[in-house]
Amino acid sequence: MESIQETTAAIIETFSMYDEWLDKYEYLIELGKALEPYPEEDKTEENLIKGCQSRVWLDSKFDGERLWFKADSDAIITRGIISLLISVYSGRTPGEILSDDFSFVEKIGLKENLSPTRANGLVSMIETIRSRAGECA
C-alpha cells in the first residue's frame, strides 16, 4: 500500500491539471457519484454530522491495527471530497493518520469548502477522523 504522502501527491497532481474551478467540481461530482454506497441502516443519528448545508454520515471501524472509514453525504460535491478523504485515510493505522497534517485539502484548493463558516459536515468529518485515530492509537 502506498503511503499517505504518495496518495495525496497523486491527488494534488490530478487537481493541478484543472485550471477551471468548474472542471474541478465536475471531477468531484464524478468521484461523488462513484463513491461506494453507504448502507442505509448506518445512516443513524449517531453517525450523522448535521450542518446548515449538507449532511454527512461517517462510520468507522478499528480492526486492532487499522481504521476503516465509510461515509456519505446528501450533497454530491461533498461526496466527492469524502471519496478523496476515504482514499487517503481509510485502511491506515492510527499512527499514520495522526502523523498527517491534512494539508492536501488546502493544496487542491478546497480549503474554503472546509472553512468552519461553511457550517457543513466536512470540518467535523476531518475532526472525527483525527479523534478516532487518537482514541485508537
Partner 1 sequence: MEIQEIRSHFPILSRTVAGGRPLVYLDNAATSQRPKEVIDKYASLSLEKNANIHRAVHTLAAEATDQYEGARAAVAQFINAASAKEIIFTSGATASINTVAYSYGEAFIGQGDNIIVTQAEHHSNIVPWQMLASRKGATVKYIPVDEEGHLEIEKLETLIDSHTRMVAISHISNVLGLVNPVKEIVRTAHGRGVPVLVDGAQGIVHEQVDVQDLDCDFYAFSGHKMYATPFTGVLYGKKALLDKMPPFLGGGEMIATVSLTKGTTFAPVPGKFEAGTQNLCGAPALEEAIKFAKLLRTKEVGEYQEQITAYVMEELQRDKRIRIYGVPRGTITKIPLFSISVEGAHHEDLALILDKMGIAVRSGQMCAEPLMDRFGVTGMLRASFAPYNTMEEAEAFVKGLDRAIKMLI
H-only helix segments in 1-137: 4-16, 21-34, 76-89, 94-99, 104-107, 111-114, 121-136
The cell for 90 is 481509510
* Nine-digit cell string for 58: 461517517
* Phi, psi for residue 72 in degrees, rounded to 5: -155, 165
Give how many residues touch partner 1 by CB under 8 A. Answer: 18
Task: Assess whether 136 carries a catalytic annotation.
Answer: no
Minimum CB–partner distance for residue 20 and partner 1 (Å)? 8
Residue 98: alpha-carbon gap to chain centroid: 15
Question: Rounded CA gap, 73 and 114, in Å?
Answer: 14
Among 22, 46, 63, 117, binds partner 1 (CB under 8 A): 22
Q: Can residue 76 be called a binding residue for partner 1 (CB under 8 A)?
A: yes
106 binds partner 1 (CB under 8 A): no
Active-site option among 36, 52, 63, 116:
52
Asked whether position 113 contacts partner 1 by CB under 8 A, the answer is yes
Candidates 2-10, 38-46, 87-95, 112-120; binding stretch for partner 1 (CB under 8 A): 112-120
DSSP state of 110: -
Report, in Å, the least distance between residue 47 CB and partner 1. Answer: 16
Residues lying near partner 1 in the complex (CB under 8 A): 20-22, 25-26, 29, 52-55, 74-78, 113, 119-120
Annotated active-site positions, please? 52
